[in-house]
Structure 1
Amino acid sequence: MKPGIHPSYAPVVFRDKAAGFAFLTRSTLTGDDLIEWEDGNTYPVVDVETSSASHPFYTGTARVLDTAGRVERFERRYGHLGAR
């Protein structure tokens, strides 16, 4: 890497306050707050709104839409207008 042009890449804790979940990783983001991690070291913390612990797709609480019913309803309403 070329020196002096890249941002610093350091350990950061990402915390999902909605789910009470946090994980330690490396990132170029930095937070203003500090947190003491399980290993006894202090790291900057970045609060996020959604993580894999709270996102409906990953938790299995995602809704399945009834697309077949919507298509049939559209055909009933507007299907005759397109036929020539």
Structure 2
Amino acid sequence: MKPGIHPAYGPVVFRDRSTGTQFLTRSTATSQERVEWSDGNSYPLIVVDVTSASHPFWTGGRQVMDTQGRVEKFRRRYGDRARGGQ
């Protein structure tokens, strides 16, 4: 790697805004806000809107609609126009 052109890569705490869940990882992101971690050290804190703790895909809150249901919904809304108006 070329020296002097890459951002600093270090430990950062990310906090989910909606659940308050926090996790420590490494990133090039930084912040003036800091948080005390369980190991006694202080790390930059980045607050994010969505993490795996709040995203519907990971929490199981996602609803799955079968393909047949989508086709029927389309036909109720638009009729059979997709087949050339028949």
Verify same fold: TM over 0.5. Answer: yes
Tell me the equivalent position of 2:44: 44
Residue among 77, 80, 84 paired with 1:78: 80
TM score, norm. by length of structure 1? 0.85
Structure 1 residue aligned with 2:62: 62
Report the Cα distance in structure 2 between the residues aligned to 1:73 and 1:51, rounded to whole angstroms: 32
Deviations 1:12-46 (A, max 9, x none): 00000211200000100001200000100000000
Q: Closer, same or farther in 2 for the Cα pair 1:78/1:17, shift >3 Å?
A: same
- In the alignment, structure 1 segments of 5+ residues that lack a partner are none
In the alignment, what sits opposite 1:33?
33
Q: Which amino acid aligns with 2:45?
A: V
Q: 1:32 to 1:80 in 2, by over 3 A?
A: closer
- Structure-2 change in CA distance of 1:52 and 1:81 (3 Å): closer
Deviation at 1:82, TM superposition (A): 1.6
Q: 2 CA distance for matches of 1:81 and 1:14?
A: 51
Detail structure 1 runs of 4+ shifted over 2 Å in the superposition: 72-76
Percent identity of equivalent pairs: 57
